[in-house]
């Protein structure tokens, strides 16, 4: 059983053989994965073309296009509910420290203490074995302190950045 929120409406959904159970009601359906990566869904003799335009598995957010109409949804399954109840929403814990994944030379630093950052934002460039590696933020948040400067040599597991 999963819970899905669509436009502030909550639904309970489960799959049973060739039926879906939507809020306790059995409904036959058919779904086919198309070569384009979209899905063709038939429910109660109505046909829908569904494509997933954005998916964030950590938060359960899905943005779907259904027959050309965009819908934002949130999907919660039993695992997500358990993690949320344990204070581990999305299965992620907030990091306090970001350490060097390998020894190398810091070529550039893009952030400073007090700066708000987004998940996936580039924080610095680390050169290792003649390759430039973008060090990206694993989470959104605030930079508490930066412990490496441009042209610093760092060792593996050396503290680079602390998050607030």
Predicted local confidence at residue 27, as pLDDT = 85
pTM given for the model: 0.47
The list of the chain residues with pLDDT below 70 reads 1, 57-58, 77-93
Q: List the strands of the sheet with 131-136, edge to edge.
A: 131-136, 122-128, 104-109, 153-154
**Are residue 85 and residue 120 in the same domain, yes or no?**
no
Last residue of a domain, one of 91, 123, 152: 91
**Are residue 112 and residue 140 in the same domain, yes or no?**
yes
CA 22 from centroid of its chain's CA atoms: 26
The enclosing domain of 105 has a CATH number of 2.40.50.100
Predicted local confidence at residue 33, as pLDDT = 93
Predicted local confidence at residue 24, as pLDDT = 85
- Looking at the 3D structure of the chain, how many domains does it have? 2
**Are residue 103 and residue 81 in the same domain, yes or no?**
no
Taking phi over 0 as left and psi of -120 to 50 as alpha, with beta for the rest, 90 belongs to: left
Predicted local confidence at residue 57, as pLDDT = 66
Write out the residue range of the structural domain in which residue 17 sits.
Answer: 2-91
Predicted local confidence at residue 120, as pLDDT = 85
Burial track 61-89 (b if 16+ CB lie within 10 A, e otherwise)? ebebeeeeeeeeeebbeeebeebeeeeee
**Are residue 87 and residue 124 in the same domain, yes or no?**
no
Predicted local confidence at residue 85, as pLDDT = 60
**Are residue 8 and residue 68 in the same domain, yes or no?**
yes
The dihedral sign for the CA sequence 83, 79, 30, 55: positive
Predicted local confidence at residue 82, as pLDDT = 60
Predicted local confidence at residue 6, as pLDDT = 82
Last residue of a domain, one of 91, 114, 129: 91
């Amino acid at each position: 059983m999963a819970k899905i929120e669509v436009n502030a409406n909550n639904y309970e959904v489960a799959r049973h053989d060739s039926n879906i159970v939507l809020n306790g009601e059995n409904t036959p359906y058919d779904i086919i994965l198309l070569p384009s990566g979209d899905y063709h869904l038939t429910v109660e003799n109505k046909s829908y073309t569904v494509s997933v335009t954005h998916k964030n598995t950590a938060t359960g957010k899905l943005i779907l296009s259904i027959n050309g109409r965009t819908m934002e949804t949130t999907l919660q399954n039993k695992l997500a509910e358990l993690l949320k109840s344990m204070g581990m929403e999305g299965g992620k814990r907030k990091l306090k420290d970001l350490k060097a994944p390998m020894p190398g030379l810091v070529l550039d630093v893009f952030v400073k203490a007090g700066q708000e950052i987004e998940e996936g934002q580039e924080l610095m460039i680390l050169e290792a074995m003649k390759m430039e590696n973008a060090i990206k933020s694993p989470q959104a948040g605030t930079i508490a302190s930066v412990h490496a400067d441009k042209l610093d040599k760092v060792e593996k597991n050396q503290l680079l950045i602390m998050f607030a």
